């Protein structure tokens, strides 16, 4: 792998950014080799994440807290913005949150994603419900396929499906047995953890998801942050949050560690006596603690 033995590889995100970008000091041939290596690493990331996703559903049932959470999201018609690639929310919704058992997981996506079976003229024709959970996967999904970051802006994003046949590898796997063959000429649509993600954001489907996220934030009265610590390097997300979220919105970080709470305060310019953070955070967070 190009420069995998140099200090830049100590930071995985920086190394991936080096591979996908076109550093001006490299020749055209070297840049092409970098892009090829990036494609290999992206495929490896997808394979590892898929293996871990399958391992997570092999034993036991859907966690009670997740079943209750997706049911609550469905009941309250919540808009959930996620940077996760996995399909746990889709599967849990199919099992515990869908208004009818036969509802398709695509109902969760407010931006059209095409079923992979449409390549055999088997097109999904269900009615998208007007209410319920909306899931905005801003960094793509393990079950999405497209032409890659070099594709045209209008490139179709295909979905191989979530079978929903129980909390199992089969349940979280593709709906169609021949999904892999149908998507043989496509790549997984996951936005890797690179510092610069602009090559991916040219896709119009992904752009539409980000616009929906901004619109949802602009109308939000409450923002609950789960599993996201607002890292200082993620300037794009912090910019979206600070420019779209109304100033009187209530912010509740589920991670109550002092460093996360303080980072949220710094990002949103929240003073110590400001009521923008929920009373739950003020009660339980160790604001002076900077450990993780």
Are 148 and 21 members of one domain? no
Are 52 and 76 members of one domain? no
The answer to whether the CB of 142 falls within 8 A of the CB of 111 is: no
The answer to whether the CB of 78 falls within 8 A of the CB of 108 is: no
Domain end, chosen from 151, 182, 210, is at 210
129 within a domain of the structure (yes/no): yes
pLDDT digits (tens, 9 = 90+) for 264-287: 888 888 876 666 776 666 555 544
Q: Which two tokens stand for residue 159?
A: 């979905």
pLDDT, position 103: 76
215 within a domain of the structure (yes/no): no
201 within a domain of the structure (yes/no): yes
292 within a domain of the structure (yes/no): no
Bridge partner residues of 277 (DSSP)? 251
Burial class (CB in 10 A: 0-12, 13-18, 19+), 25: exposed
Helices 235-244 & 204-218 angle (0-180, nearest 10): 40
Are 47 and 90 members of one domain? no
The answer to whether the CB of 230 falls within 8 A of the CB of 264 is: yes
pLDDT, position 119: 74
Query: Angle CA(196)–CA(202)–CA(204) in degrees, nearest 5?
Result: 140
Are 147 and 117 members of one domain? yes
pLDDT, position 283: 58
Are 190 and 97 members of one domain? yes
Q: How many domains is the chain partitioned into structurally?
A: 3
| 280 Ramachandran zone, left/alpha/beta (phi>0; psi -120 to 50) | alpha
Give start and end residues of each alpha helix (H) in 80-124.
88-96
Are 104 and 43 members of one domain? no
How far is residue 12's CA from residue 111's CA, in Å, rounded to a whole number? 31
The answer to whether the CB of 116 falls within 8 A of the CB of 159 is: yes
2 within a domain of the structure (yes/no): no
* H or E element at residue 68: helix 64-75
How far is residue 118's CA from residue 107's CA, in Å, rounded to a whole number? 16
> What letter would DSSP give residue 127?
P
How far is residue 118's CA from residue 77's CA, in Å, rounded to a whole number? 29
pLDDT, position 129: 56
CA 37, chain centre distance (Å): 23
pLDDT digits (tens, 9 = 90+) for 154-199: 999 999 989 998 999 999 999 888 888 999 999 999 998 877 777 7
Mean pLDDT of the region 61-84: 95
How far is residue 291's CA from residue 173's CA, in Å, rounded to a whole number? 38
Are 106 and 240 members of one domain? no
Mean pLDDT of the region 121-140: 73
Q: Which domain holds residue 43?
A: 7-57
CA-based nearest residue to 229, from 252, 247, 255: 255
Are 90 and 172 members of one domain? yes
Mean pLDDT of the region 200-220: 92
289 within a domain of the structure (yes/no): no
How far is CA 7 from each of CA 38, 194, 266, rounded to the nearest angstrom?
17, 16, 31
* H or E element at residue 114: strand 114-115
pLDDT, position 289: 44
Are 118 and 21 members of one domain? no
Are 106 and 203 members of one domain? yes
Are 49 and 82 members of one domain? no
pLDDT reading at 258 higher than 90: no
Mind giving me the DSSP string for 148-210?
-TTS-TTPPPEE-----SSSSHHHHS-SSTTHHHHTTT-EEEE--S-S--TTTTTSHHHHHHH
139 within a domain of the structure (yes/no): yes
Burial class (CB in 10 A: 0-12, 13-18, 19+), 247: exposed
- The mean pLDDT value of the chain amounts to 86
Are 138 and 247 members of one domain? no
């Amino acid at each position: 792998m190009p420069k995998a033995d140099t200090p830049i590889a100590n930071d995985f995100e920086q190394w991936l950014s080096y591979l996908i970008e076109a550093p001006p000091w490299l020749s055209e041939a070297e840049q092409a080799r970098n892009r090829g290596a990036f494609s290999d690493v992206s495929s490896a990331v997808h394979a590892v994440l898929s293996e871990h996703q399958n391992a997570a559903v092999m034993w036991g049932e859907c966690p009670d807290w997740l079943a209750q959470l997706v049911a609550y999201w469905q009941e309250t018609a919540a808009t959930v913005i996620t940077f996760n690639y996995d399909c746990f929310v889709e599967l849990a919704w199919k099992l515990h949150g869908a208004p009818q058992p036969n509802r398709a997981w695509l109902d969760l996506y407010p931006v059209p994603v095409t079923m992979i079976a449409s390549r055999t003229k088997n097109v999904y024709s269900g009615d998208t419900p007007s209410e319920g959970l909306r899931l905005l996967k801003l960094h793509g999904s393990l079950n999405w396929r497209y032409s890659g970051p070099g594709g045209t802006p209008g490139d179709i994003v295909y979905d191989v499906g979530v079978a929903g046949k129980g909390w199992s590898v089969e349940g979280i796997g593709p709906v169609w047995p021949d999904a892999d063959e149908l998507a043989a000429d496509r790549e997984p649509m996951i936005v890797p953890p690179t510092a610069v993600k602009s090559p991916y954001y040219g896709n119009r489907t992904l752009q539409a998801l980000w616009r929906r996220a901004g619109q949802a934030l602009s109308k939000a009265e409450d923002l609950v942050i789960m599993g996201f610590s607002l890292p200082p390097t993620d300037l794009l997300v912090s910019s979206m949050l600070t420019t779209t979220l109304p100033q009187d919105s209530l912010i509740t970080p589920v991670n109550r560690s002092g460093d996360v709470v303080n980072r949220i305060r710094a990002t949103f310019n929240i003073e110590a006596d400001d009521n923008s953070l929920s009373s739950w955070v003020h009660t339980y967070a160790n604001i002076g603690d900077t450990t993780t």
